[in-house]
Amino acid sequence: MGSRYDGRVTTFSPQGRLQQVEYAMEAISQAGSAIGILTEDGVVLAAEKRITSKLLDVRKSAEKMHKIDDHCAVAVAGITADANILINYARLEAQRYTFGFRENIPIEQLLMRVCDLKQSYTQYGGLRPFGVSFLFAGWDQHFGFQLYQSEPSGVYSGWKAQAIGANTQSAQSIFKTDYKEDMKLDDALLLSLKVLSKTMDTTSPTPDKVEISTVTRDAEGNVKLHVYTKKELEELCERAEPLLKAQKDEEGDI
């Protein structure tokens, strides 16, 4: 049962809350999890792929990873229809900046523009908040590789490792113990599978249930987004099996 303060997004409750914003955050907490890990040589984005039916014709290799510009990508948790609107908006803003200044838009500035739009949907009657949260990953010449999280309220924050969606508390507990400042990209890939094994409530993630992509720079300094193919995911899952088995044995001992 909702309270009498949740009829409009512009109405504050006596506790100073916007109930519709909290409902949007609850919708995100029920969605498939997505995680991001920042390293010195790149950013890893990983997400749970929830296939509702074997009959579904999946044409794309990724459904929760989206390229914004050549130097920026996002992972999504929440309502896909809302995410598509914001992703298209972010792409348009990135191209507007490039057209005007002849350079890629800084990651934080792009995030600020998206979050300004999110916040405006919590301020006017007849609208509802976007029920989606993003993990922005990218590189620019000002701050190098970066990882940000955005929320339905329009708040954003920078992270070294973060999870959105279901079972975020389990993911955070693993990040606190296993994340290291000098972690390499390959170690972050294995850690991402370890975290997903907890957020997905399964001991062994399979290529059909996970999506992984990386944002890195090549020898010429060009930023590139690489979405892992099914074959690459199979190889990665095989390499992660000893780590996942050790994690399961530790939990069994406890």
CATH number for the domain including 104?
3.60.20.10
Does the residue 17 lie in any domain? no
Separation of alpha carbons 3 and 89, rounded Å:
33
pLDDT of residue 56: 75
- For the stretch 61-77, pLDDT in tens is 567 899 999 999 999 99
pLDDT of residue 129: 95
Does the residue 146 lie in any domain? yes
99 pLDDT band, cuts 50/70/90, is very high
Does the residue 6 lie in any domain? no
Domain containing 175: what range? 27-49+62-253
- Say what percent of the chain tops pLDDT 70: 93
Separation of alpha carbons 225 and 151, rounded Å:
23
Does the residue 9 lie in any domain? no
1 pLDDT band, cuts 50/70/90, is very low
Does the residue 79 lie in any domain? yes
- Say what percent of the chain tops pLDDT 90: 70
46 three-state secondary structure: strand
Does the residue 90 lie in any domain? yes
Does the residue 8 lie in any domain? no
Separation of alpha carbons 244 and 204, rounded Å:
7
- For the stretch 111-130, pLDDT in tens is 999 999 999 999 988 889 99
Amino acid 169 reads Q
Does the residue 21 lie in any domain? no
**Number of compact structural domains in the chain:** 1
CB atoms under 10 Å from CB of 179, counted, come to 18
